[in-house]
């Protein structure tokens, strides 16, 4: 800068760096947060899953319902689950009542250590007999097990409530949290913003898209299998329709063969039954297989999968994430496995190219190879699509 006397005055620029003590404090704070998240990791992951499933519904309802949209969105998800569990328990109680009145239950009671016929009628003798029975070590062990089960169930229900509450908080404040994070945490770090946006998009695709696709296929195939049983000639019934519907939904993740192997297996069972009963019924398994493999699969490929899941990730990655997650982490691995898969894949696609000074891969593609996805392998093997197509 030039002064009044024409002399050049040097201007010093001072760069202020955070003190080491603040870096240490920051590490301690994030360490505490990480420890808390790790302690409640199963329920945090469950809450994230509920959030991503409910988020598309919430964003559709928000313009009309405003602040009530998160609660309504969760009700649209939680209420059907509660109804399903209620129906399941009702069926289980009905089967238990039927068992209690059966001959097998009578034989079981006859072999049990407590003889119902010898229970005294006198109140004093009844209290004495009950006290003696409760002091038996085997009975005390059973009581301890029951208490542990009841306590564990109560704790699990309370943590599930916290997971739903966490999802409700995210549904209500997700956009505000995103703005706050960009302003105060990420700042001008374009790489971090791109990576986190890619992870968010991937989790939406996996949690909402693929999961709902699997459940939709389970429900639809269960209905179709039972409808076929209503019109089955010669009592050629599809066995265990609900179980086979669940297996059909899971096999949606298996590349190449996919659901077709389930249809073929059911058709083979029906064909064997037709040959044993009446060979003229052999047309029925062929009609079933053609309907499922052509008509139903075409509906899934044309309407269900593109609308719900898209093609953001190769189906093999999704399959291993869902299958290996529970094996590695337990019951919550079915949610944690896809989460880790998305974090790793998006890091390789978005962060690694920019760290090497290259442009990130466009369209979230990880490998320009031909894919053979379950629902679209007939089209993609001829068209030569990418390993991960575009998202929504």
Q: What would the pLDDT profile of 68-115 be if each residue is shown by its tens digit?
A: 888 887 887 777 766 665 665 665 566 566 666 666 556 655 555 555
Q: Give the model confidence (pLDDT) of 153-193 as tens digits.
A: 777 778 888 888 888 888 888 888 888 888 888 877 788 88
Mean pLDDT of 273-300: 87
What average pLDDT does range 39-43 have in this prediction?
A: 87
- Is pTM, for the whole model, over 0.75? no
For residues 205 and 392, is the Cβ–Cβ distance under 8 A? yes
CA 95 – CA 81 distance, rounded (Å): 21
User: What average pLDDT does this structure show over 310-328?
Assistant: 77
Helix axes 103-111, 69-100, angle to 10 degrees: 80
Q: Specify the residue for token string 């949610």.
A: 335
Q: What is the pLDDT of residue 168?
A: 86
What was the pLDDT predicted at 180?
87
Q: Is the dihedral of CA 271, 275, 277, 283 positive or negative?
A: positive
Task: Tell me the three state secondary structure of residue 166.
Answer: helix
CA–CA gap between residue 215 and residue 221 (Å, rounded):
10
- For residues 367 and 84, what is the distance between their CA atoms, to the nearest angstrom? 41
Q: Which residue has the higher pLDDT, 58 or 146?
A: 58
Tell me the pLDDT band of 21, cut-offs 50, 70 and 90.
Answer: confident
Question: Percentage of the chain surpassing pLDDT 90?
Answer: 2
- Which has the minimum average pLDDT: 2-6, 252-256, 274-278, 364-368? 364-368
Cβ atoms of 198 and 364 closer than 8 Å: yes
Residue 338: pLDDT over 60: yes
Asked if pLDDT for residue 196 goes beyond 80, the answer is yes
Greatest extent of the chain over all pairs of C-alpha atoms, in Å: 118
- Judged against a pLDDT cut of 60, whether residue 16 lies above it is answered with no
Strand-pairing partners, residue 221, are none
3-state secondary structure of 133: helix
Q: What is the mean pLDDT of the chain?
A: 74
Query: Tell me, what's the pLDDT at 381?
Result: 37
């Amino acid at each position: 800068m030039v002064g009044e006397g024409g002399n050049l005055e040097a201007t010093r620029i001072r760069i202020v760096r955070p003190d080491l003590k603040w870096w240490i404090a920051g590490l301690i704070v994030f360490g505490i947060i990480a420890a808390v998240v790790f302690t409640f990791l199963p329920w945090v992951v469950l809450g994230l899953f509920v959030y991503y499933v409910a988020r598309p519904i919430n964003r559709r309802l928000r313009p009309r319902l405003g602040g009530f949209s998160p609660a309504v969105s969760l009700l649209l998800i939680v209420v059907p689950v509660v109804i399903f569990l209620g129906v399941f328990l009702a069926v289980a109680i009905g089967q238990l009542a039927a068992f209690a009145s059966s001959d097998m239950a009578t034989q079981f009671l006859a072999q049990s250590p407590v003889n119902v016929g010898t229970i005294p009628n006198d109140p004093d003798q009844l209290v004495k007999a009950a006290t003696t029975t409760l002091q038996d070590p085997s009975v005390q062990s059973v009581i301890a097990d029951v208490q542990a089960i009841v306590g564990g169930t109560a704790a699990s229900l309370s943590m599930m409530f916290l997971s739903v509450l966490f999802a409700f908080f995210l549904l209500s404040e997700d956009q505000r949290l995103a703005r706050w994070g960009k302003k105060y945490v990420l700042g001008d770090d374009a790489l971090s913003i791109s990576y986190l946006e890619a992870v968010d998009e991937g989790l939406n695709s996996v949690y909402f898209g693929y999961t709902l696709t699997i459940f939709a296929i389970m429900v639809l195939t269960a209905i179709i299998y039972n409808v076929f049983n209503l019109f089955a000639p010669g009592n050629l019934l599809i066995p265990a329709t609900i179980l086979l519907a669940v297996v059909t939904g899971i096999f949606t993740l298996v590349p190449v063969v996919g659901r077709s192997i389930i249809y073929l297996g059911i058709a083979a069972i029906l064909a064997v039954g037709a040959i044993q009963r009446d060979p003229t019924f052999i047309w029925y398994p062929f009609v079933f297989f053609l309907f499922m493999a052509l008509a139903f699969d075409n509906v899934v490929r044309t309407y269900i999968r593109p609308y719900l899941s898209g093609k953001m990730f190769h189906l093999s990655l999704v399959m291993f994430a869902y299958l290996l997650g529970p094996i590695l982490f337990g019951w919550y691995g079915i949610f944690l496995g896809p989460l880790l898969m998305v974090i790793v894949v998006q890091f390789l696609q978005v962060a690694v190219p920019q760290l090497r000074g290259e442009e990130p891969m466009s369209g979230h593609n990880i490998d320009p190879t031909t894919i053979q996805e379950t629902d679209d392998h007939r089209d993609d093997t001829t068209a030569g699509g990418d390993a991960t197509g575009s998202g929504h």
